Amino acid sequence: MATMLEVAKRAGVSKATVSRVLSGNGYVSQETKDRVFKA
């Protein structure tokens, strides 16, 4: 299982963005969500 930091690096986003995507809180574009889930 990957850590949030590893996912963030692979997706080219911050750990905070990964957290927002996973929790569903805050606005994150669909493109960014897709990149995080692919990572």
Query: How would you class 19 by CB atoms within 10 Å of its CB: exposed for 0-12, middle for 13-18, buried for 19 or more?
Result: middle
Contacts 24+ apart (CB under 8 A), 8-17: 8/39, 10/39, 11/35, 11/36, 11/38, 11/39
pLDDT by 10s per residue, the chain, length 39? 899 999 999 999 999 999 999 999 999 999 999 999 999
- Number of domains the chain is built from: 1
What local confidence, expressed as pLDDT, does residue 12 receive?
97
What local confidence, expressed as pLDDT, does residue 1 receive?
85
Q: Tokens 């957290």 correspond to what residue?
A: 19
What local confidence, expressed as pLDDT, does residue 11 receive?
98
Could you list the residue range(s) of the whole structural domain that residue 21 is in? 4-38
